[in-house]
Amino acid sequence: MIESTETGAIRKPCVNEIPAIKALIDTAAREGRVLPRATAELYESVRDFHVLVDEFGVGGCCALHVDMADLAELRSLVVRHDLRGGGVATRLINACMDEAAHLRIAQVYALTRVRPLFEKLGFQEIDTRELPHKVFKDCVRCHLFPGCDEIAMIRTVIPTNGDARPNEAEML
């Protein structure tokens, strides 16, 4: 699905856009806002991402990384400096949340320092100890480890009711 406005289109990336995604993430990582990602990792996880593309190229990205059958993480949320404050982050998060709903993922979490953005989108703060231990596998790459200052925020996408399979009409 492509969502387009005057500030650009939100869509799944093409593999030839990985260098631009890497450049965005590298800049944000140098600023201490996200974890760095290796080029090979970005190619392997290209299907996790949504990007905002405008006349200047890739202007933002956000990934939905599936951790377990009922849990996924929003990660690598980056918006180009000239686009900040215009709702791009919200649009990228919403695209990932739509994908989470399509995949029937029960909950999506983020480790963040930007509480107001996630609260505005219906996320609630939780104690990091409520998340499965495996979600912290990337934390050892962070320069703040083990003294992380991020908070965990989570949002229910699909209430768990025992049947996470889409019905036939939804698959058409």
Q: Domain map of the chain by residue range?
A: 3-166
Question: pLDDT value at position 158?
Answer: 81
| Choices 1.10.10.10, 3.40.640.10, 3.40.630.30, 3.30.9.10: CATH for 3-166 | 3.40.630.30
The Cα–Cα gap between 127 and 84 comes to 29
Query: Residue 101, by phi and psi: left (phi above 0), alpha (psi -120 to 50) or beta?
Result: alpha
Task: Write down the pTM of the prediction.
Answer: 0.84
pLDDT in tens, the chain (172 residues): 566 566 789 999 999 999 999 999 999 999 988 888 999 999 999 999 999 999 999 999 999 999 989 999 999 999 999 999 999 999 999 999 999 999 999 999 999 988 999 999 999 999 887 877 655 555 555 555 455 667 899 999 986 654 444 444 444 4
Q: What is the 3-state secondary structure (H, E, C) of the chain?
A: CCEEECCEEEECCCHHHHHHHHHHHHHHHHCCCCCCCCHHHHHHCHHHEEEEEECCEEEEEEEEEEEECCEEEEEEEEECHHHCCCCHHHHHHHHHHHHHHHCCCCEEEEEECCHHHHHHCCCEEECHHHCCHHHHCCHHHCCCCCCCCCEEEEEECCCCCCCCCCCHHHHC
